[in-house]
Chain A
Amino acid sequence: MGTTMNLSMLLEMAADADGDRIAVGTRRDGLTYRELLELSRRYGSQIGRLDAQALAYLDLNSPTCIALLFGCSYAGVPFAPINYRWTDQQVGRALERLAPVAVVAGADFTARVESSDSVSLLDLTTPDTAADEAVAARSEHSPAVLLFTSGTSGDPKAAVLRSSNLVPYVVSTVEFFNAGPEEAILVSVPPYHIASVSSALTSVYSGRRIVQLPAFDPESWVDLAAEEAITHAMVVPTMLGRILDVLERRGQRLDALRHLSYGGGRMPVETVERALALLPGVDLVNAYGLTETSSTIAVLGPEDHRIAAASNDPSVRARLGSVGRPIPSIELEVRSDDGAALPAGAAGEVWVRGEQVSGEYLSHSAVGEDGWYPTRDHGHLDADGYLFLHGRADDVIVRGGENIAPAEIEDCLRSHEAVADVAVVGVPDAEWGERVEAVVVLAAGKAAGSEELQELVRVTLRSTRVPAQIHYRDALPYNEIGKLLRREVRTELAALLEGVTA
């Protein structure tokens, strides 16, 4: 036994509470908590004998991935899931950052790993001759998990999460073994996403069976949810819209489903309202969190959703578009650019503090000595403490000294029936520093001219918010987990501008 907290402790507690309960997989042939513990210990002893500073995982969701997360904890070696959608070159660069590194790659991915002196493939199927040796963690202080952040705004950074962040997150937000034996969560986010790591930990600690979709697809999601009597699920915004499309088209209900959490990006209020209508018995939870905060730091709970949806008070109804209130173990402030805490209603950068907040990267730490971490998210709190996000601080448009959040203009334009999707960005402007421009995707068979859309923004918001130009495109660039690649939009429009002035 280690002398301090580590991730494997969470699994040992679950195995002690009910070793025969299914931890991960189907009701028929899933792994029990005892089996998952044995597998994790075996992997831990294999990993512990390698000369590796990290264990990289390059594959789809699988029970192996969860056993490796805990196995790495036994070995005292950080677990580093890699984005399998990256190019070979990006994968190679990430592995170099982690070297010396051992890589567990799925059959479809082994060819993508270039072995070298410091990058080696680990075959888990090789019989482990020393499996019965006691596992001794190399270091209780090495990071537990390394995650490359999605990099919509630049080169991916490797975020460092320690047991001292993850364990307090789990034990302060989840009551141990509070799940009934029938409960099952469907995990469809990829293994390199923070929600995949946090759902593995919180599900094991709460005793809730994990069912994994190897890779997301809305038809398979609905099929698997029905087949495995899924009670809980977590989705990102683009997934929810597509799941609702399938349910609507099939006229299907998911009778076992009772709890659906969403997060990882801005959810259109229309989608939330559709979910409330199509899944009337389901508790909806909006969770806001970052990789660097070990997942959730604010939640909009089921009651919040119902009250907001049923209210005639515009300020209460607006909460459907909020991310709820900070969880009790998190301190949260909205601050101005000079660092002063702002009152309710004023917009600024969101700062957080708490044990679960890492804010640490392989290269540096972004946490101040006082423990506060700037999220780079821009938003405001309402009078009752509900947090509204306006977008990334880096995406705020500064027009003639005025800060303009793209989100409010996008929401306004999206309310037009002809607008299917929209991105608002700032482009360099000689007079204003930056000016507002919009890229619009029209709904099939619908039309809306620039002047009409500009007028809509003028009357709904104000003249400074009106896009100087509206561009029309067939689609907007998104990454694979549904985050708008705003930087690409900005780059395209800036290039367009250079073409004009040249």
Chain B
Amino acid sequence: MKTGAKMRSAVCSTEVMVIRAGNGDITLCCGGAPMLAPDESTEGLGAPAAGFDAGTVLGKRYIDTESGVEVLCVKPGAGSVSADDRPLELSVPKALPSSD
């Protein structure tokens, strides 16, 4: 998993961009199933597993403090993102004043 890489959910419409790869020793999942590269094919849509169905919100960042992995939701979906089976938390960065 590389910074800047995009990944998509195997079971819902969620797409994320990796902002921070962390130590990388985890499998990024959405809806309880491993996420795929954008060009990887799927066997048709399943459904998010229970416990991994809280959903993702467009433009929100999610972080796994243990591995340091952080992703940005670029398309929302019904599944929620996890590092293996550890759900990622909503990351709320410190607000900066607009400068451009």
**Chain A residues packing against B (C-beta within 8 Å):** 1-5, 9, 12-13, 16-17, 163-164, 167-168, 171-178, 185, 195, 198-199, 201-203, 206, 208, 232, 234, 259, 261, 263, 283, 285, 287, 289, 295-296, 299, 301-302, 327-328, 355
The smallest beta-carbon distance between A161 and chain B, in angstroms, is: 14
Cα(A22)–Cα(B36), bound, Å = 34
Partner of A263, one of B15, B72, B97, B99: B99
Q: Contacts A173-B96, A206-B98, A299-B99 given; 14 further ones with Cβ under 8 A?
A: A3-B37, A3-B39, A167-B4, A175-B95, A202-B100, A234-B99, A261-B99, A263-B99, A287-B99, A295-B99, A295-B100, A296-B99, A296-B100, A328-B94
Given A2-B6, A167-B4: A17 touches B97 (CB 8 Å cut-off): no
The answer to whether B97 touches A302, judged by C-beta atoms less than 8 angstroms apart, is yes
Q: A13-B58, A176-B60 are in contact. Are A171 and B19 (CB under 8 A)?
A: yes
Asked if A259 meets B19 with Cβ closer than 8 Å, knowing A4-B4, A9-B74, A167-B4, the reply is no
Residue numbers in A under 8 Å from B39 (CB-CB)? 3
Whether B96 contacts A327 by the Cβ 8 Å rule is yes
Most buried by A among B74, B93, B97, B98: B98
A-B CB contact pairs (8 Å), 16 listed: A1-B38, A2-B6, A2-B38, A4-B4, A4-B5, A5-B4, A5-B6, A13-B58, A17-B58, A164-B4, A171-B19, A175-B95, A177-B58, A202-B100, A259-B97, A287-B100
Q: How far is the CB of A371 from chain B (nearest CB, A)?
A: 13
Binding site for A on B (CB under 8 A): 3-6, 15, 17, 19, 37-39, 58-61, 72, 74-75, 93-100
Q: Which of A1, A16, A208 contacts B58 (CB 8 A)?
A: A16
Chain B residue numbers with a CB within 8 Å of A178 are 95
Q: Which residues of A contact B61 (CB under 8 A)?
A: 171
Q: Is the CB of B17 within 8 A of A9?
A: yes
Closest to A296 in B: B99
* Chain A contact residues: helix, strand, loop or mixed: mixed
* Complex Cα spacing A13 to B59, Å: 7
- Contacts known (A1-B38, A4-B6); A299 close to B58, Cβ less than 8 A: no
- Bound state CA distance, A202 and B98, in angstroms? 8
Point out the residues of chain A lying under 8 angstroms from B100, CB to CB. Answer: 195, 198-199, 201-203, 234, 261, 287, 295-296
Docked-complex contact B75 and A299, CB < 8 angstroms = no
List of B residues within 8 angstroms of A295 by Cβ: 99-100
Nearest B residue to A205 via CB reads B59
Interface centre among A1, A201, A261, A355 (most CB of B within 10 A): A1
